[in-house]
Amino acid sequence: MNFVNIFFILLALSSLQPVIQKRMIEARRVAAIRSLEQQRGSRVILLIHRQESISLLGIPLARYISIEDSEQVLRAIRLTPPDVPIDLVLHTPGGLVLATEQIARALVRHQAKVTVFIPHYAMSGGTMLAMAADEIVMDENAVLGPVDPQLGNVPAASVLKVVAEKPLSEIDDQTLITADIADKAIRQVQKFVRTLLEDTIPQQKIQPENIDRIIETLTTGQVTHDYPISVEEAQFMGLPVSVKLPTEIYALMDLYPQPMTGRPSVQYIPLPYQSRPAIPEPAKTKIMPQ
């Protein structure tokens, strides 16, 4: 065997290596999902988007909840028997309103218990999906986010504030039209969120006296759209949040790493140096003044 043959063999092996690695990671993902399903007796669905940008030919890319996602999740829910619980693992910055509402309605209609697991964050549309669940299980440092409508890059609530504070004679027609759309968008979102919170299948999950407060806090633009809502704040609002996130969820997230584009920005030796302290009970602290 000469040098040329050795070169082509090595070239073939190197070209097959990514394919083999992809198959191996897919097999590990399926095995981890099946193990979690058997342990919990549920259907496990993962909706994972990496928000960090990946540079492709100089163009930053980011994933979000899309129509393709809603089609796949709706199919998974449809294939789940009515008496089988659903466990949805969420890691997303949000996405399209249409896709989000389709998934949320399907989760609300499911007869058995729906649990959402949030290891890191579920912002915007991700929070809306969390509100469709009967139980929200978060890491103690994970966050939710407001669901106030955005008109492009402008919060709908901010458009209405301009119209309310500025004399009508000084407002152009386009702003008035945008304000009309903003008002409709807020009312539509509030109506839909109320539908999610008033869900009583298989049992009532939100105390009726908390529903208006949750809707007011999350949909009216009292904070910026990227404001992180902590576990303590979510519990204070009245959302069904707990912090007993199974360790299997963290293991699943390790199987969905961000593609490497260079040297890692975070690195450590993954060994516990001491026993992990118990998670303290969330304090009943007040959220920021409205």
Q: Which residue has the higher pLDDT, 279 or 255?
A: 255
At residue 289, does pLDDT exceed 60?
no
For residue 290, the model assigns a pLDDT of 46
pLDDT at 54: 47
The per-residue pLDDT for range 250-265, each reduced to its tens digit, is: 999 998 887 655 555 6
**pLDDT tens across 104-139, in order?**
999 999 999 999 999 999 999 999 999 999 999 999
pLDDT beyond 60 at 57: no
Q: Is the pTM of this model over 0.85?
A: no
Q: In 3D, which of 82, 76, 92, 81 has the Cα closest to residue 44?
A: 76
CB 246 within 8 A of CB 117: yes
Query: Is it the case that residue 2 has pLDDT exceeding 50?
Result: yes
Q: Report the amino acid identity of residue 22.
A: K
Task: Report the 10 Å Cβ neighbour count for 182.
Answer: 26
Helix axes 67-78, 97-109, angle to 10 degrees: 10
Q: What is the pLDDT of residue 72?
A: 94
Angle ∠(70,245,54) on CA atoms, nearest 5: 50
How long a stretch of residues is the chain?
A: 290
In sequence order, what are the beta bridge partners of 136? 116, 241
Q: Which helix (H) or strand (E) covers residue 180, if one does?
A: helix 173-197
Question: Residue 1's pLDDT is what?
Answer: 60
**The tokens of 280 are what?**
């303290």
Kindly tell me if the per-residue pLDDT of 161 is higher than 90.
yes
Sign for the CA dihedral angle at 21, 260, 273, 118 comes to: negative
Instruction: Tell me which CATH code domain 42-147+186-219+227-254 carries.
Output: 3.90.226.10
pLDDT in tens, 174-222: 999 999 999 999 999 999 999 999 998 888 999 999 999 999 999 999 9
